[in-house]
Amino acid sequence: MTIEVNLRVNGVDHAVEIQPHESLGRVLNGRLGLNGVRISCKEGECGACTVLVDGEAVTSCIMLAVQAGDRDIQTIEGLGTPDDLHPIQQAFVDEHGFQCGFCTPGFVMSSKALLEATPHPDASEIAEGLSGHICRCGTYPNIIRAVQRAAEELGQEATNE
């Protein structure tokens, strides 16, 4: 049995035939070819597959694709481009907020949700806010610095606007 569901991903509608048990992450990565949606633990523990659904960070490996129908899904692919990085992405580059980079899209997406809810978090709030993610390389201090730097940058942009 398949179901047709409309997935609005990074502002573009995709009508996809899915099986009811398929996870959002599997459809985004496997069907829509979104390389930055990283499926690893499949139990919502590592955070690598995090995407935003209606602005909220979710682990897409344990959300059913049907639950995301007609909702606004944002993945790392919808953030910045190589020539025009989002300030959070740029801050991760500048602060070396990663090593192997496997967990990075998830951290970046959660950071975006975090900064929208809490524009000026302190280090503890950032650490707590990102505690759903694992960076096995152990780059947390520089991830925290990257989010602090991004917060300053985004605050500056908001002031300029």
Partner 1 sequence: MSEQQDYRIIGKAIPLKDAVDKVTGRLKFSGDIRVPDMVHGKILHSPHPHARITGIDIRRAESLPGVLGIVTHQDAPAWEWENCWHNYGGRILDDRVRFVGDEVAAVAAESVEIAEAALELIDVEYEILEPTFDPIESLAPDAPQVRAEGNARPPTEVIWGDLDSGVEMADVIVDASMAFDSQAYAPIGRNACTAQWEGDRVTVWTCTQTPSEMRDAIARGLGVPISNVRVISQPCGSSFGLWWIGSLQLITVLLARKVGRAVKIGLSQEECFATVKRRHLERSTGRLGVKRDGSVTFIDLEHVHDNGAYGLKPDVGFLTVDLWGAGPHGRFIDRGVSTNLVTAGCMRGVGDVTMGAFVERLLDMAAVEIDMDPLEFRLKNHIRAGDPLRAMEGETLDQMDLASLPDGWPELGKLDGEALSDCLIRGAEAFGWNEKWTGWGKPSAIDGPKRRAVGVATGVHSCGTEDEYPVSALVRVHADGSATLHVSIGRQGQGSETTQAQIAAEALGIPIDRLIVQAGDTDAAPPSHGAIASNTSYRTGFATWDAALDAKRQILETAALQMGSHAPDDLDMRDGVVFSPSDPAVSLTLEEIMSTYRPDSMTPPMILGRTSTPMPPSMMYARYFAAHFVEVEVDIDTGEIRLLDYVATQDSGTVLNAKVLENQVIGGAILGAGFALTEHLAFEPDTGRILNPGFLDYKVMRAPDFPLDPGVLFGDSHDPVGAFGAKSGGEAPTTAPIPAISQAVYNAIGVWLDIPMTPERVLEALGKI
Residues lying near partner 1 in the complex (CB under 8 A): 34-38, 40-43, 45-46, 48, 75-77, 79-82, 85, 89-90, 92-96, 98-105, 108, 123-124, 126-128, 130-131, 133-144
- For partner 1, give the closer residue by CB, 31 or 69: 31
Beta carbon nearer to partner 1, 68 or 129: 129
- Cα gap 57→18, rounded to integer Å: 22
What's the closest the beta carbon of residue 96 comes to partner 1, in angstroms? 4
Count, residues in the chain = 161
Closest CA to 121 of 87, 89, 155: 155
The smaller minimum CB distance to partner 1, of residues 6 and 21, is found at 21
The dihedral sign for the CA sequence 16, 81, 112, 137: positive
Cβ of residue 14: shortest distance to partner 1, in angstroms?
18
State in angstroms the smallest separation of the CB of 68 from partner 1: 18
Pull the structure tokens for residue 2: 């398949």
Give the span between the Cα atoms of 64 and 26, in whole angstroms.
9
Q: For partner 1, which is the closer residue by CB, 32 or 69? A: 32
Q: Quickly list DSSP for 64-108.
A: BGGGGTTSEEE-GGGT-BTTB--HHHHHHHHTT--SS-SSHHHHH
Q: At closest approach, how far in Å is the CB of 114 from partner 1?
A: 11
